[in-house]
Structure 1
């Protein structure tokens, strides 16, 4: 195809109906996250809730990291009546969005300053919000992959990223502005102000719900809706609920029993943070073990259909390894797990770095959050456009190179110190690179999934891509204390170099849009 025609095709993709659909779905996916984190945290602090209790609410978002656990149910189980009316994907999208809106309304009707019981209800609503939002992500990812060819995936990912960031801006800065405008401040808490704010946020979910109702169901040759009876699916769903309850119970109870050990371990290691991290890992492992044990008992006593479990959980894994063979499959998983390590590890400590250089909160908000947001959106659309023009693999390599190379600019900023112009330059380069890399990476992940197990496999990939970077990111503060900012930034640059080798190797063995 001539160069000019390829550019015209790439630009024309901006107006494709599927691309516009992903912009709206991205908005509805980006809305819930900050309603659990920053906006809710500020609400709770204004309501007089202790800081230690506020941080516990971040656990409500654990569903994002473990969504692959119930992704098979979303992939396989039909929703009575709704699936027949809307189809396999649209029914689950609408159901998840309804759950999100209901959870936000529940939060809006709960005053955390009214006592312990309302605070518990607020926590339950936040958990419901996190679970429903993670479920929405599972289905939207599956819808995106199934509704268009690989050539359009990068542009759809770009639109999704853009919508997601806009949703975060509305739920973050927008919610705070509304709450203050309605009359709630740090020194003068007013429940009605936050109630009105969260009710407006719930109303914003109409964007995604309307989109789900007007779009077409993606064409798919595989439809598991009739594979098993309703009782079989309900039994599986009930077992999953019991397993989740077992996880929550063990995780909560172990926190009480291990509190003394946490303190003693921190004193013995002379590092309370590391000691606490180790105890939390034990608690998490114990909770997962309890959930797995419940699942195994359910299978042993034949409370669930073993073949359904095999088809839902084992078959997607076997399918992936059979298509890519053992060696290549593990290298692909290594690439997925390491691709974003440079920017995520640096990002954990970035706000602290800006403050240490003397930048004010207003400067950080305007440059890093607002200006950086638009740079990320621009980078995302550039990544989609270039992926269509030059191929996903080439832009995947370019994104990995830029994402690690821009970390060297932070070394320059550390050398010059408080320099607002240089901060703009660094944020522009870093966010453009991150947006470009994300668009190509999402398109790459989409190409790896099988149409039969779209939701499950992509949920596993998206969980894996942040797992290793977040584990390393937890030690970023310790690394900075030990070696200083310049050396730390250089280390994060080096972390990205093995990714280039992995991309190069995989490009020779994968038939992705080259």
Structure 2
């Protein structure tokens, strides 16, 4: 493969390469359970007349998604006796998630809200575990030159699953009821295990940690003994930070600050989802040609500049055309940045500890999204909306500086970052992957 991949020749390979072809359906399976314990569950509780205070408590069931790094070492350490280290866990957790959704379906929110909350928490825990092993599988299966586009395809499958289990589930529930809707989605998860069984074995195979102590401590020790480890952590925390601040109060800005109706905002955000999907795919294709360093820098700069569109909107006032343009640009550049960022995280994982290291790094990135809301509100109160979004552009710049600082540890070709030296890795080329 040359250093400048021909994109027109690369696209058809998605259908011929099993590694890339399974990314979309596996991404779909990964995203399917999330809405069933979040927005869709809230809609069910509201329709059933559950009081708002109880519904607020139900939002805590999403906690396992932020804490999944705590039990990721177990998934790295234990190897199921079927389908290998990653696919075995994928089948097991997928079936357990489906069973948990069935238990939710047969539980009445009115009569047994506590029991439903317990089942929803169980599903969230299992779905977070499923995310751990899916992330590890994707990281160990995609070749370095495939990571950008593969990550984009995965993200698109994930987001479409959110639409199916979110808006789609609400429509179906109106027709057949909530219990049947949840049972149908559980059945879809069971059917999805066939995709896992037919998926290729990872191309990077490493020996599992021999003890639980090694599974817990070795991933951290291995990462922090690398050159520029702290620099890479800075990239992880800072790269999407400007986006996190800009999106934290975006809906409040559009409705309360500018005066758009909720319906207008919802319509434009729906278009924005499509723009994100297109941006991720386009970014993945560009990475195959330009390499990861250039992609991180260019996409990160575009992410930052897109925040300035909200500055213009804040100063110009209510304009539907301007709103649509700003949201489209923001989502396209955000999708491109996400594709590059996920490719970077995958490349930083040692195959022996992929599940643990990916869970830790992704949790660090999530800190910005979790904690950006309150400081953002304080800044808006102090300086106003226009200056706030101008500051989000400034907040995005340290992430670019962090990428520049560690650029020498990232290869400049389309093969991605310099992988850590892992003597225990056994290269595998499964038959029929092309």
Tell me the TM-score normalized by structure 1: 0.77
1:5 Cα offset (Å): 5.2
Q: Assess if the C-alpha contact under 8 Å between 2:74 and 2:212 holds in 1.
A: no
What CA distance in whole angstroms lies between the structure 2 residues aligned with 1:427 and 1:14?
A: 29
Task: Give 2:11's aligned residue.
Answer: 11
Partner of 1:44 in structure 2? 45
- Name the Cα RMSD after superposition: 1.8
Aligned residues: 412
Decide whether the 8 Å contact of 1:406 with 1:426 is kept in 2.
yes
Partner of 2:406: helix, strand, or coil?
helix
Q: Distance in 2 between matches of 1:360 and 1:468?
A: 28
Q: Report deviation, 1:132.
A: 0.9
1:499-510 residue pairs with structure 2 within 5 A? 499-510=399-410
2:100 matched to 1:103?
A: yes
Note the C-alpha offset of 1:173: 0.7
Q: Does 1:363 align with 2:264?
A: yes
Q: 1:389 to 1:219 in 2, by over 3 A?
A: closer
Q: Deviations over 1:431-460 (max 9, x none)?
A: 101110011111111111111111111111
Other-structure match for 1:74: 75
Residues 337 and 468 of structure 1 are in contact (CA less than 8 Å); yes or no, is this contact kept in structure 2?
yes
Choose between structure 1 and 2 for higher RCO, CA contacts under 8 A separated by at least 6 residues. Answer: 2
Distance in structure 1 (CA, Å) of the matches to 2:139 and 2:9: 20
Q: 1:194 aligns with which of 142, 153, 178?
A: 178
Question: Is it true that 1:224 corresponds to 2:202 in the alignment?
Answer: no
Q: CA deviation at 1:85?
A: 2.6
SS at match of 1:112: coil
- TM-score for both structures, normalised by structure 2: 0.91
| Contact kept? 1:396, 1:503, Cα under 8 Å | yes
Contact 1:150 1:446 in 2 (8 A): no
Residue of structure 1 in register with 2:122 after alignment: 128
Matches within 5 A, 1:232-311: 308-311=211-214
Q: Which residue of 2 aligns with 1:319?
A: 222
Whole-angstrom distance in 1 between the partners of 2:372 and 2:54: 25
Q: In terms of Rg, which structure is larger?
A: 1
Native 8 Å contact 1:88 1:223 kept in 2:
no
In structure 1, the residue matched to 2:153 is 159
Q: Could you tell me how far apart the structure 1 residues matched to 2:311 and 2:204 are? A: 49
Stretches of structure 1 lacking an aligned partner (at least 5 in a row): 183-192, 228-307
Name the structure where helix makes up a greater proportion of residues: 1
Mapped contact 2:19–2:200 kept (Cα < 8 A): no
Q: Of residues 477, 482, 486 in structure 1, which corresponds to 2:377?
A: 477
Deviations 1:322-373 (A, max 9, x none): 2x23xx11111011011111111221211111212222222222211x2111
Q: Contact (CA 8 Å) 1:339, 1:400: kept in 2 or not?
A: yes
SS at match of 1:380: helix
1:90 equivalenced with 2:87 (yes/no): yes
Runs of 4+ in 1 over 4 A off after TM superposition: 1-5
Matched, 1:140 2:166: no
Alpha-carbon spacing, 1:146–1:5, altered in 2? closer, same or farther (3 Å): closer
Give, in whole Å, the separation in 1 of the partners of 2:393 and 2:38.
Answer: 29
Deviation at 1:196, TM superposition (A): 1.4
Q: Retained in 2: the 8 A contact 1:29–1:164?
A: yes
Deviations 1:173-229 (A, max 9, x none): 1111112233xxxxxxxxxx111121122122145312111113224442338x4xx
